[in-house]
Amino acid sequence: MPASFFFDNMEHTAAYAKQNHPEETERTIRKADEYLSGSYLFDGRWDLERNAVPFQYEDIKDYLRQDGEDSEAVYAFNRMRQWLTLAEAYALTKDERYTQLFLTQMTEWIITIRRDDPKAAKAWRTLEAGFRMEYWSKAYEIFKYSPLFTKTDEKLFVSSMEEHANYLINSWNDYLLISNWGVIINHGLFTASQLLPETEKTRTWERISLNHLEKELSLQIADDGIHWEQSSMYHDEVLNALLDVVLLLRHKKAPVPKALLEKTKKAAHACAAMQKPNGHAIQDGDSDDIDQSDLVTLSSLLFDDPLLSAKANRQIDYDRIWLVTDTERDTYRKMDGAIPLLSLFPDSRHAVYEKEGMFLHFKAGTLGAGHGHADQLHIDLYANGEELLVDPGRYTYVPGEERYVMKRSEAHNRPTVKGLDDYHIKDSWAYGRMGKAYGMRGKEKDGAVYLSALNLGYGEDGITIERRIVIPHPGLVILIDTFTGKGDFTAQNHFHFSGKGILSENGATFTTEKNVMYLSFSDGVTLSKGKGWVSRHYNERKQADMLTVGKSGSGIVSLWTVIQIGSKEKTSFLPVTSNCRGTAFPSSAIEAMKAGGTIVAAAHKEWASPTDLFHAGGKTGWGACVLFTEDGPENGTILEY
């Protein structure tokens, strides 16, 4: 049998796991024992669609069993990720019961779940076949050392993997060029080509999989590193696949194709930038609340990048120690790194502000694909170790209201127009009418950050929305939403809270264990407190506070929101006058808001004609968005000219 291409020595890795990751070691053995009893709860960190209640699988007839409308449990079982848990449990204990269950399931599955059987169609989706090639290969890496794993077993195993490979190679098409399925499938094919005994066939698999991956990445990963489907979870799945490929080629001392290497680096950097201070990914689009720091840590091991170093963990995570050599694991050191104040992704149109424990994510990108939500101009806000304003998540893929309510515009922290939809949901995956977010801009100046973008999704209704975000310092966020249209309409803003705090009845404070968040709004608005949903994992959701802010008008309607975290200073609108003529500007032209010693002036249209300056709160300035602070420039910091 060939040497391992991931870890050097199974015993060394198992000993390291017991010493450095005792909780994960205990969980692995406990899960493996549950599998021995026939109980399967897919609730691991990287299980794509979790089941909230364990499934009982007694024999082969249960492998295709579907309870209810949701097929995800059938897909999950037939990916066989559970074989990785059994393999790791065997490495940790040398208990041959785990090997025996693996061999029993392998034999039953290969003989019984036939690709030409219509009843097995869900088990033989190309995605599941791709995952199996990865998971089966990695389990094989460990079980091949068991005395129970015979030449006959190996022959059966390899023959099934050859069937999988031929199936996937012949199934490759243009759809897979753009879908995350394509990357996952060809990652599985590549992994098998490295871990199975080397033959002319496996060398062909390597060549084909690398060729397909390069073609897929040329379309799927934007120049700024973010996967086009606008889902942080599926971005991470793609990155996981790419990191495996780079790692295996390095272990083999083979060159990594340049384009693949560069796309992997960029995807890793984007992953790190989008990582909240608690190590979790944002829940962008169809995503769960996942601790992704293991991916960033492995990326830090592979690539010299200060952001990766800053966001990485202090040691290689449990899930990844089975993939690295003894030397890589033992010599890895978390390096000092730098987290930028502003991370801007101009192609996919995301932005992240991060400083002193405050993290704000702003999105103005494309819809993505079926995993995308109507979340244009949405923000996420995190401070002092806690989520405050959140994306609702996904909950289910089953068509119906429980699916659609998580995807709609008003389910996100973004401006909308009452009674109108910029995105019309057709089913679980498709939209009818679709809008367009446009013109993401970001600037860091005098210690402050400014972000802006447009939503043209209501263009058919004659309304456009511009969102501007001013962050003078951690703890103060000012949202300026400008609605421009004809006729009467009601502008709205939506705020979805984490579910881990209390929103006051008047909507002015959100109190959590570590934070008090104060909210102030434009004059003349209506506030409606209600309940929305937060789903942190598939098949799990709970109600959480939400707040809808509304203001009716015509022409130009503005909604201001001042968010203060930790301490509250008085907020008020200031009259804005012409410095040259002494007359007052209408609020439809330019407004100014004061929060303590900070003043922000924002224009909703051109106002300086023929030549003019504005005056507000004792400050004089010029520009479309200007920030005045107590220690800033006398005429303010011009954030937008």
- Here the CATH number for the domain that contains residue 460 is 2.70.98.70
181 and 281 belong to one structural domain: yes
- Whether 51 has a pLDDT exceeding 90, the answer reads no
- Inside any domain, residue 428: yes
Looking at the structure, do residues 406 and 467 belong to the same domain, yes or no? yes
Q: Mind listing the pLDDT tens digit for each residue in 163-185?
A: 999 999 999 999 999 999 999 99
Query: Considering 568, 594, 626, which residue would you say is the last residue of a domain?
Result: 568
Domain stops at, among 304, 331, 358: 331
Measure the CA–CA gap between 436 and 376, rounded to whole angstroms. 8
For residue 316, tell me if it sits in a domain.
Answer: yes
Q: Which of 541, 568, 595 is the last residue of a domain?
A: 568
| Same domain (yes/no): 276, 402 | no
Average pLDDT of every residue of the chain: 95
**576 and 499 in one domain?**
no
φ/ψ region of 188 (left if φ > 0, alpha if ψ in -120 to 50, else beta) reads alpha
Q: In what order do the strands lie in the sheet with 637-640?
A: 571-574, 590-595, 598-603, 625-628, 637-640
Say yes or no: 521 and 379 in one domain.
yes
In percent, how much of the chain has pLDDT > 70?
A: 99
Confidence band, pLDDT 50/70/90 cuts, at residue 218: very high
Q: Per-residue pLDDT averaged across 319-331, rounded?
A: 94
C-beta separation of 346 from 441 below 8 A:
no
Q: What is the pLDDT of residues 417-468, one digit of tens each?
A: 999 999 999 999 999 999 999 999 999 999 999 999 999 999 999 999 999 9
User: Is 579 found in the same domain as 552?
Assistant: no
Q: For 291-311, how does the pLDDT look when each residue is reduced to its tens digit (9 = 90+)?
A: 999 999 999 999 989 999 999
**d(Cα 286, Cα 464) in Å, to the nearest integer?**
26
Examine residue 1 and state whether it is found in any structural domain, yes or no: no
- Asked whether 50 and 538 are in contact (CB, 8 A), the reply is yes
> Residue 3: is its pLDDT beyond 70?
no
Rounded to an integer, the average pLDDT of 512-524 is 97
SS3 labels along 363-408: ECCCCCCCCCCCCCCEEEEEECCEEEECCCCCCCCCCCHHHHHHHC
- Are residues 631 and 489 located together in one domain of the fold? no
175 & 30 share domain: yes
Q: What are phi and psi of 358, to 5 degrees?
A: -95, 135
Query: What angle do the packed helices 126-143 and 82-93 form, to 10 degrees?
Result: 10
Torsion angle of the four alpha carbons 414, 419, 422, 425, in this order, in degrees rounded to the nearest 10: 110
The answer on 372 and 438 residing in a single domain is yes
Using CA atoms in the order 26, 30, 31, 33, what is the torsion angle rounded to 10 degrees? 140
Please write the tens of the pLDDT for every residue from 105-134.
Answer: 999 999 999 999 999 999 999 999 999 999
Amino acid 2: pLDDT: 42
In the chain, the number of structural domains is 3
* Structural domain contains residue 337: no
pLDDT at res. 567: 94
Give pLDDT, residue 4. 55
Same domain, 44 and 159: yes
160: enclosing H helix or E strand: helix 151-171
Instruction: Kindly tell me if the per-residue pLDDT of 377 is higher than 90.
Output: yes
Regarding whether 305 and 230 lie in a shared domain, the answer is yes
Partners of residue 451 on adjacent β-strands: 442, 469
**Token pair recorded at residue 516:** 């008090």
Domain that holds residue 446: 342-568
Average pLDDT over residues 17-23: 97
Greater confidence (304 vs 501) lies with: 501
Do 425 and 356 fall within a single domain? yes
Neighbours of 129 (CB within 10 A): 23
pLDDT category at 69 given cuts 50, 70, 90 is: confident
Question: What pLDDT was estimated at residue 1?
Answer: 37
